[in-house]
């Protein structure tokens, strides 16, 4: 999945600064629905990651049935937290 494609599909633009609060809420809802319907592990991870960066990701045990995917998500969260501390 390409991030530009995800952003355009969910928000109608790749420029999140141009999205209204209502548009942001609607886009997050679309991403959440897509995550719930996604069967491909990589697609689920991409959707969850975007939702996480937007502060709207579901809990790991809800999003990822596979323990390895939950571990990968925890690693991403740790890396993003460490990058924020820099």
Over residues 7-49, the pLDDT tens digits come to 999 999 999 999 999 999 999 999 999 999 999 999 999 999 9
Q: What is the signed CA dihedral for 64, 19, 22, 45, rounded to 10 degrees? A: 0
The three-state secondary structure class of 3 is helix
Domain extent, residue 40, equals 3-85
Residue 42: other Cβ atoms inside 10 A: 10
Residue 5: other Cβ atoms inside 10 A: 11
Nearest CA among 75, 35, 74 for reference residue 51:
35
Q: Is 79 exposed, middle or buried (CB count within 10 Å of its CB: 0-12, 13-18, 19+)?
A: exposed
* Number of domains comprising the chain: 1
Q: What is the pLDDT confidence band of residue 84, given thresholds at 50, 70 and 90?
A: confident
């Amino acid at each position: 999945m390409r991030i530009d494609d995800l952003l355009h599909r969910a928000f109608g633009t790749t420029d999140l600064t141009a999205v209204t609060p209502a548009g942001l809420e609607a886009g997050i809802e679309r991403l959440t629905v897509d995550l719930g319907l996604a069967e491909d592990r990589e697609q689920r991870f991409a959707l969850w990651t975007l939702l996480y960066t937007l502060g709207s990701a579901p809990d790991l045990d809800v999003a990822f049935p596979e323990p390895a995917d939950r571990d990968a998500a925890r690693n991403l969260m740790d890396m993003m937290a460490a990058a924020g501390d820099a």
